[in-house]
Structure 1
Amino acid sequence: MTSRKKRAARVGLFIFLLLSCLGGLLAFVVLVDIPNRVAERFGPPAEELSLPERLYYAWALFLNESKLHAPSNVEDDKVIFTIGNDEPTSVIIQRLKQSRLIQDEEAFRILLVYSGLDRGIKAGQYELSPTMDGIQVAHALQKGGRVEITVTILPGWRAEEIAQALRLSGLLESESQFLKIVRQPPAWEVLKTLDYPLSLEGFLMPGTYIFRRGMTVEQIIAQMVERFAQTLTPEIREGFARQGLSLYQGVILASIVEREGIVKEEYPLIASVFLNRLRAGMKLDSDPTVQYALGYDAHLNTWWKNPLKSEDFKINSPYNTYINAGLPPTPICNPGLEALQAVANPAQTSYYYFRAQCDQSGRHVFSETYEQHLSEACP
């Protein structure tokens, strides 16, 4: 009897140890192995999930993985999928299924919750394709939701400022791509009508644009130059000629007027001052040309240093109109329509000087003589 009891005890111990091992193995699989596998394939779970939720959604994702990797359709017809403001995630998932953009609603919902992507879906338009799998669709819905991107380019911006605005809007990967083309323009047909400028600085028309996501840098720049060419009407061209200016010279002067002026109704007066100076053989003495020559000021975080110091006016640059007579070699910014029209149709004045009024209004006081100009200085 004793030996039987011993054998039974050994069997019981073996079964206990076996069950303990199986339990440990099962616990390892449940608590460690499967969650780790899912994390490797789908990334870590959302931090907001509790431990039981992480385990549940990791297992659910593991069991539904095949439904997420396969595209819902092999056709390559792209679909514009629109998500409304405050639209519930459940409704979005249902519509994705109805549009044949996902294969399984529940599997897609599990992926969104596990990854925390359900909180990153934004209203807007998305360009999706049935050939995308569920994982690709889920991440595509996090990218801002805009097929078309609206960008406003302000008059008076130089090319670097435009490049920055385009990059921040998500249209450019790097500003250097944009600037390289601006400084070395391709042989576009439109440039024939603009007398083949050596640089596109000055010919990037300010205004509001709607660019389609995925456009190349060349297409973006070409659209801006095309609009400039359309803005440069025969009347403006003829106006430049009446002032004794070539097309390029007219754009250069317009760029200076754009940076000098604040109140647009003063643009024709400012243009008249510079034209009078050019005809008299005087230097233009324009602060913005010095600012352009100085370039980016890292301390002030601007391309247009203000105020300028006395040593700034001594910078050795062809753009410094305090030491060089005539126009600078290229435009110093991209002028708007009002500045172009002001140069083409300037006010008829005998002014040679102007300075800012003392009331901070942005307006200027115009003078015929240097003595009068000095007398208008602020106290």
Structure 2
Amino acid sequence: MAKKVSSTGGTMRKFIITLVVVGVLALAGTILFYYLRYFGPNVTNNEEYLYIHTGEDFDDVYKNIRDKGIVKDTATFSWAARNMKYVGHVKPGKYRLQEGMSNRKFVRMLQLGDQEAVDLTFHVFRTKVQFASFVGKKLELDSFTVLRYLDSTAFVQQYGFNTDNAFVMILPDSYKMNWNISADAFFKRFYNHYENFWTAKRKQQAAALNLTVPQVSILASIVDAEAVYDDEMPTIAGLYLNRLRVGMKLESDPTVIFAMGDFTIHRVLNKYLSVNSPYNTYLNKGLPPGPVMLPSVNAVKAVLNYEKNDHIYMVAKEDFSNRHNFANNVAEHNKNAQKFRKALDERNIKK
């Protein structure tokens, strides 16, 4: 006769199996819980960047993320940030956001300060105010701070400039820098680029012209303002150097326009020539105290490698090609000037 299986043993096995299943399910639930909180997609596409300003703490960052809907679940983001010990280690910067980024990846990026560099590319600015405004739109630095540094005698003197000519330290080019760069580091970056450009050979070229390095840039700014086409720059530079050598006034229209602060002027009238300003080269001999615009690298090179000519005068061509007629005597220049004035009158250009 077969033995009867003990019901107690069967019950025990069922209990163990149930316990194992419950344990596995609990473990799976725990893994899923942590996975979703750490590795699950959470960042939205509401914003392209997260900006963390200098001095902000985690509460500020959290509020910004919450208010702009940067993550779908702010609670899991906060939980991940606290467990990853990011709360006390906030780093300012400009951080690129990727839709579907997990909390772990997002927090890790912020924790490391792995921000995206800003591409600061520029070519022409007439004034320091225009440049400062441009910077204020690109970096955390505000325009007031940029101007304050450029206008600080104590600050610019450490680089060998004064407040009139310090602007030449900014060479138009492409720069990559962190969004939250400090003002000191910002100007140090430009000065290093400036110093690298001004090699020993270029400094010798400047000395051969009887000009200081800043004066070369000041003259280059006038050349740049006069020339639409780069191939005319060396010719114009040669003309102005001829004037400086013989002690003539430069009588440059861009310096008058700069002195008046009206860059809409297309026709420099006689009444403008008496504007009282050290930048008015119709009144003052020699170079103005500072640049009339940020000179391009090509303009600086054009001064250093000027065309040797006997030109003393120039006037815009009457065909409005944005090129110039050059002359070495007054009579020829007057003829050229008359042709241009006639062309202006025919087009009713009064200003």
Instruction: Bin the TM-score by the shorter chain.
Output: 0.5 to 0.7
User: Structure 2 vs 1, CA of residues 149 and 305 (structure 1 numbering), >3 Å: closer, same or farther?
Assistant: farther
- Is 1:257 the counterpart of 2:257? The answer is no
Q: Which residue of 2 aligns with 1:106?
A: none
**Which whole-Å CA distance do the structure 2 matches of 1:375 and 1:181 have between them?**
47
Q: Which residue of 2 aligns with 1:363?
A: 323
Residue 120 of structure 2 aligns with an amino acid whose one-letter code is: V
Q: Which residue of 2 aligns with 1:205?
A: 171
Contact in 1 for aligned 2:129/2:147 (Cα 8 Å):
yes
SS at match of 1:101: helix
Deviation at 1:65, TM superposition (A): 7.2
Deviation per residue, 1:243-271 (Å, 9 max, x gap)? 22222322221221121111111111111
Contact in 2 for aligned 1:155/1:258 (Cα 8 Å):
no
Structure 2: runs of 5+ lacking an equivalent: 1-65, 343-351
- Is 1:129 the counterpart of 2:111? The answer is yes
SS at match of 2:169: coil
- Is 1:147 the counterpart of 2:133? The answer is no
Q: Which residue of 2 aligns with 1:96?
A: 102
- Is 1:161 the counterpart of 2:115? The answer is no
**Which whole-Å CA distance do the structure 1 matches of 2:251 and 2:176 have between them?**
38
What is the total number of aligned residue pairs between the two structures?
A: 267
Structure 1: runs of 5+ lacking an equivalent: 1-41, 46-60, 103-126, 132-144, 298-302
SS at match of 2:102: helix
- Is 1:294 the counterpart of 2:260? The answer is yes
Contact in 1 for aligned 2:249/2:286 (Cα 8 Å):
yes
Q: Which residue of 2 aligns with 1:284?
A: 250
Deviation at 1:206, TM superposition (A): 0.7
**Which whole-Å CA distance do the structure 2 matches of 1:100 and 1:334 have between them?**
40
SS at match of 1:351: coil
- Is 1:177 the counterpart of 2:145? The answer is yes
Contact in 2 for aligned 1:77/1:129 (Cα 8 Å):
yes
User: Structure 2 vs 1, CA of residues 271 and 312 (structure 1 numbering), >3 Å: closer, same or farther?
Assistant: same
Deviation per residue, 1:293-317 (Å, 9 max, x gap)? 122x4xxxxx564444443222101
303, 308, 311: which one pairs with 2:271? 311
Q: How does 1:43-58 map to 2 (within 5 A)?
A: none
SS at match of 1:328: coil
User: Structure 2 vs 1, CA of residues 268 and 330 (structure 1 numbering), >3 Å: closer, same or farther?
Assistant: same
Residue 154 of structure 1 aligns with an amino acid whose one-letter code is: H
Q: Which residue of 2 aligns with 1:232?
A: 198
Cα root mean square deviation, aligned: 3.3
- Is 1:74 the counterpart of 2:102? The answer is no
Deviation at 1:186, TM superposition (A): 4.8
Q: Which residue of 2 aligns with 1:351?
A: 311
SS at match of 1:374: helix
**Which whole-Å CA distance do the structure 2 matches of 1:188 and 1:351 have between them?**
36
- Is 1:214 the counterpart of 2:202? The answer is no
SS at match of 1:128: helix
User: Structure 2 vs 1, CA of residues 366 and 224 (structure 1 numbering), >3 Å: closer, same or farther?
Assistant: same
Query: TM-score, normalized by length of structure 1?
Result: 0.62
User: Structure 2 vs 1, CA of residues 285 and 213 (structure 1 numbering), >3 Å: closer, same or farther?
Assistant: same
Deviation per residue, 1:56-84 (Å, 9 max, x gap)? xxxxx9xx875565434214487997555
Deviation per residue, 1:157-187 (Å, 9 max, x gap)? 43222112111224433x1211111122555
Deviation at 1:221, TM superposition (A): 2.0
Residue 224 of structure 1 aligns with an amino acid whose one-letter code is: F
**Which whole-Å CA distance do the structure 1 matches of 2:225 and 2:306 have between them?**
16
**Which whole-Å CA distance do the structure 1 matches of 2:112 and 2:315 have between them?**
63
Deviation at 1:101, TM superposition (A): 2.9
Residue 203 of structure 2 aligns with an amino acid whose one-letter code is: R
SS at match of 2:238: helix
User: Structure 2 vs 1, CA of residues 152 and 186 (structure 1 numbering), >3 Å: closer, same or farther?
Assistant: farther
What percent of counterpart residues are identical? 25
